[in-house]
Amino acid sequence: MGKVKLLDKSFKLYISAEEIEKNVNILARQINNELKGEEVCFLGVLNGAFMFASDLLRQINLNCRTTFLKLASYSGTSSTGKVKQLIGINEDIKDSVVVVVEDIVDTGSTLEYLVKLLKEYGPKDIKIATMFMKPEAYVGEISIDYIGMKIQNEFVVGYGLDYEGYGRNLKDLYILESQN
């Protein structure tokens, strides 16, 4: 399927499921090698990372824990505007190597915030695994340990990523078609 329409926008096929799978397997091998013998806890970031986490974890052979968290943003009435919270985390990650499993890293601001919050739980180390990354958009300081694929600085959907909740179920990655 070369094209897909979600609400008012058209997207075209960008990266096939086969290509994604190949890169997930490479990442899994790398993680299996590097974190052997460590107390590891994988932390999938909902909603977008559900598909990547599912595919990645099936290839992980470590004796590890897996959990998920959600970042909630609330529009506050204060001058700071937004308040973010973690839902679904507890202090069990103390002394573990935490591997954050993200769908995509864009500017890196979500990640920056998440890592700051996670540090308060006292993990041994924090590693970042993301399926996709947009190097041109990234302005963060945190180094990304495991990157599935680097992509163009354009809006994409599929493989867990949505447009207004639609498109998460697509097994391939699609890119927004120019409007003209």
Catalytic residues, by residue number, are 106
Matching residue, tokens 């120019």: 178
In this structure, the strands spanning 3-6 and 9-15 are antiparallel
User: By C-beta, is 121 or 155 nearer to ligand 5GP?
Assistant: 155
Q: Give min distance, CB of 17 to ligand 5GP, in A.
A: 17
166 lies in the site for ligand 5GP, by CB under 6 A: no
Q: Give min distance, CB of 169 to ligand 5GP, in A.
A: 13
61, two tokens: 């052979």
Cβ partners under 8 Å of residue 131, min gap 6: 20, 23, 24, 49, 52, 102, 103, 104, 148, 149, 159, 160
Q: Give min distance, CB of 26 to ligand 5GP, in A.
A: 22
- Per-residue x/- track, 32-61, ligand 5GP (CB under 6 A): ----------------x-------------
Q: For residues 146 and 118, what is the distance between their CA atoms, to the nearest angstrom?
A: 18
Q: Which of residues 104-163 bind ligand 5GP (CB under 6 A)?
A: 104-111, 155-157, 161-162
Q: Give min distance, CB of 150 to ligand 5GP, in A.
A: 13
User: By C-beta, is 51 or 62 nearer to ligand 5GP?
Assistant: 51
Q: How far is CA 92 from the centre of its chain?
A: 21
User: By C-beta, is 32 or 107 nearer to ligand 5GP?
Assistant: 107
Closest CA to 23 of 14, 35, 15, 12: 15
